[in-house]
Amino acid sequence: MNITRTGSGQPLVLLHGFPLDNTLWEPLLPHLADHFDIILPDLAGFGLSPLPKPDYHLRDMAAALADLLRGLGLPRAFVAGHSMGGYVALAFARQSPEMLLGLGLISTQALPDNAERQAARHQTAAEVAAKGPGVVADAMAAKLSANPAHETLLRETILRQPVPGIVNGLKAMAARADSSDLLPGLDCPVSIVHGLADALIPPERAREMKAALSNAHLTELPGVGHMPMLEAPVETAEALKKLL
């Protein structure tokens, strides 16, 4: 798994969303580097991380994260995930709760896909396999951020992602487990961040997670879309520092 590492303090893993890579966290890093030893993986099939095998599930990505942390000599870490990365963070919380110092859930949700969404993901996966990453760049680049100034960066980042990784990511998200049952039993601190102008995952999903958790803080960001690390890096970093 390719990682970038920066900063000093307690270990914090930041897991990027779909179909992106670890470079998307850059605007957040100056605001966190004095507080955390920040570990930035490229999830399997994205950025510079190869896809180990076809049908590599989000739970496999979570298990690979546990192996990575053990390999780095880190028995425990804060783990924060954005959107798809949040699904992986929730899978990690289920598999390895003893390794979790605290959880960050940014623009994500505990609920799984319904049947309609699963079918749409499989159709998009077939289109990407046939036509390449332009299919998802066209569908997503303009919708991800509420700030049109981010569209070019997002489009370029999506167009760099390997087709097998995008296809696998779509199928893995469609197959992901419902994490709702996990939330009431989670006893580590949780910080939830959600843009109120998120066009992909409605803010209600964040409020539902907050209500189900016993030790959670919710930061709602007015006018912010699906990309708080780009759109509101200071506020997003402040929310993650609340985990300390």
Residues that bind ligand MLT (CB under 6 A): 17-18, 83-84, 173, 200
CB of 244 to ligand MLT, least distance (A): 26
- In this complex, which beta carbon is closest to ligand MLT, that of residue 140 or of residue 243? 140
DSSP string, 48-60: T----SSS--HHH
Closest CA to 21 of 75, 108, 82, 68: 82
Percentages helix, strand, coil for the chain (3-state, rounded to 5) are: 50, 15, 35
- Please report how close the Cβ of residue 161 comes to ligand MLT at its closest, in angstroms: 12
Copy the structure tokens of residue 108.
């994500």
**What's the closest the beta carbon of residue 28 comes to ligand MLT, in angstroms?**
16
Torsion angle of the four alpha carbons 67, 73, 78, 83, in this order, in degrees rounded to the nearest 10: -30
Q: 99 or 111, CB closer to ligand MLT?
A: 111
Rounded to a whole number of angstroms, the minimum distance from the CB of residue 73 to ligand MLT is 29
**Residue 83 vs 157, nearer CB to ligand MLT:** 83
Cβ closer to ligand MLT: 27 or 35?
A: 27
Torsion-angle region of 223 (φ positive above 0: left; ψ -120 to 50: alpha; else: beta): left
- State in angstroms the smallest separation of the CB of 85 from ligand MLT: 7
Q: Which is nearer to ligand MLT, 35 or 205 (CB)?
A: 205
Q: Is the dihedral of CA 28, 34, 36, 38 positive or negative?
A: positive
Phi, psi for 176 (deg, rounded to 5): -70, 155
